């Protein structure tokens, strides 16, 4: 399966995971959602280790731990932004920031996409921005507060992509195992230090578990995709996940889609096609 196909499926799964995570933060504290969802993801990757075998090395483990720390910071900030802002605005801001860092890193370290693919990258970044525009004045007002938090979350996610991609290709899923173990440890220590409960809110546990499992499935797809293609292209396609988050928010939460947002979704599909052609 090609890198672009894997990255596209990864984006859909990430978007769905973020939708469930956003719902969970409205019923439980952010640290509880992060800790429990990450634990569910750790259990899944432990089950997958025999089926996607790899070589456990100090280098692969170190990159995984570093990626986990970056991703944990991004996830805490992202869920905090979702808890106080509008899902259809927070997600695109975060995605834009998470796409820029891997693109710059990839180009700086030797990625040389074809002109058509670079056109797809530019269109993808524009699509992410369009998907997050056109909200109602009330929604825009609610989104101003979490903007900086969303940007910081995007930097954390971008760092996760870059750091995870540095692990040797023969590491299998061990870097993800290390990443999840590190992130759970950090969040648990943070909760202990701030005396925050990790108990989920009423009726939230199944949503949190679903978010964690879907997030880990997306992480596995990302690792497989970046092993088959350039980081600067794979990360951009993966960062188109707000389109699926937005569609789910429209269907389940009745968040309205404007003409600008629909145009952004159309640009998303075109961008994926251009990157695949390149």
Torsion of CA 20, 23, 27, 32, to 10 degrees: 40
CA distance 229 to 274: 15
Q: What's the confidence (pLDDT) of residue 278?
A: 55
Ramachandran category for residue 196: left, alpha or beta (phi over 0 → left; psi -120 to 50 → alpha): beta
What is the reported pLDDT for 110?
A: 82
In this structure, what DSSP letter does residue 241 have? T
**Residue 13 binned pLDDT confidence (cut-offs 50, 70, 90):** very high
CA distance 99 to 82: 19
pLDDT of the residue at 143: 47
Q: What is the pLDDT of residue 119?
A: 81
Cα 271 from chain centroid? 18
CB atoms within 10 A of CB 51: 8
Place of tokens 């648990």: 188
Q: Which helix (H) or strand (E) holds 251?
A: helix 242-253
Distances (CA, A) of 169 to 47, 102, 172: 20, 18, 7
Select from 137, 128, 24, 131 the least CA-distant residue to 83: 24
pLDDT computed for residue 86 by the predictor: 67
Residue 255's pLDDT band (boundaries 50, 70, 90)?
low
Q: What is the CA radius of gyration of the chain?
A: 17
* Window from 53-67, 121-135, 136-150 with minimum mean pLDDT: 136-150
Confidence of residue 257 (pLDDT cuts 50, 70, 90): low
The position carrying tokens 């800790």 is: 35
Distances (CA, A) of 76 to 91, 156, 167: 14, 10, 24
The pLDDT-based confidence of 19 (bands split at 50, 70, 90) is confident
Region 11-36 average pLDDT: 86
- % the chain with pLDDT above 90: 24
Residue 158 near residue 119, CB atoms below 8 Å:
no
Least confident segment among 32-41, 131-140, 237-246, 260-269: 131-140
The pLDDT-based confidence of 81 (bands split at 50, 70, 90) is: confident
Element (H, E) at 214: helix 205-228
Identify the pLDDT of residue 115.
82
**Between residues 113 and 140, which one has the greater pLDDT?**
113
Answer with the residue of higher pLDDT: 13 or 2. Answer: 13
Phi-psi category of 172—alpha, beta or left, where left has phi over 0 and alpha has psi -120 to 50?
Answer: left
- Measured distance CA(212)–CA(235) in Å, rounded: 20
Q: What is the 3-state secondary structure (H, E, C) of 101-126?
A: HHHHHHHHCCCCCCHHHHHHHHHHHH
Residue 10 has pLDDT above 80, yes or no: yes
Per-residue pLDDT tens for 162-219? 999 899 988 889 999 999 999 899 888 888 888 888 888 888 899 999 999 999 999 9
pTM, full prediction: 0.81
Taking the C-alpha atoms of residue 140 and residue 240, their distance in angstroms, rounded to an integer, is 21
């Amino acid at each position: 399966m090609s890198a672009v196909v894997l990255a596209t499926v990864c984006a859909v799964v990430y978007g769905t995971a973020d939708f469930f995570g956003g719902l969970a933060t409205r019923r439980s504290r952010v640290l509880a959602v992060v800790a429990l969802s990450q634990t569910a993801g750790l259990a899944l990757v432990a089950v997958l280790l025999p089926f996607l075998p790899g070589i456990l090395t100090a280098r692969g483990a170190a990159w995984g731990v570093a990626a986990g720390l970056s991703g944990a910071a991004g996830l805490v900030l992202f869920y905090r932004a979702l808890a106080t802002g509008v899902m259809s605005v927070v997600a695109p801001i975060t995605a834009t920031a998470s796409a820029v860092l891997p693109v710059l890193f990839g180009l700086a370290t030797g990625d040389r996409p074809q002109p058509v693919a670079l056109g797809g990258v530019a269109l993808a970044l524009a699509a992410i921005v369009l998907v997050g525009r056109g909200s109602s004045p009330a929604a825009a007002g609610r989104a101003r507060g979490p903007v900086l938090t969303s940007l910081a979350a995007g930097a954390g996610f971008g760092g996760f992509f870059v750091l995870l991609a540095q692990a040797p290709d023969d590491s299998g899923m061990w870097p993800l195992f290390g990443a999840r173990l590190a992130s759970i440890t950090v969040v648990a220590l943070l909760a202990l230090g701030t005396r925050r409960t990790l108990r989920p809110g009423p009726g939230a546990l199944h949503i949190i578990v679903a978010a964690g499992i879907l997030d880990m499935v997306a992480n596995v797809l990302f690792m497989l995709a970046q092993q088959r293609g350039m980081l600067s292209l794979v990360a951009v396609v993966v960062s188109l996940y707000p389109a699926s988050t937005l569609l789910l928010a429209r269907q389940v939460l009745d968040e309205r889609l404007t003409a600008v947002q629909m145009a952004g979704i159309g640009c998303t599909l075109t961008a994926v096609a251009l990157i695949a052609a390149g």
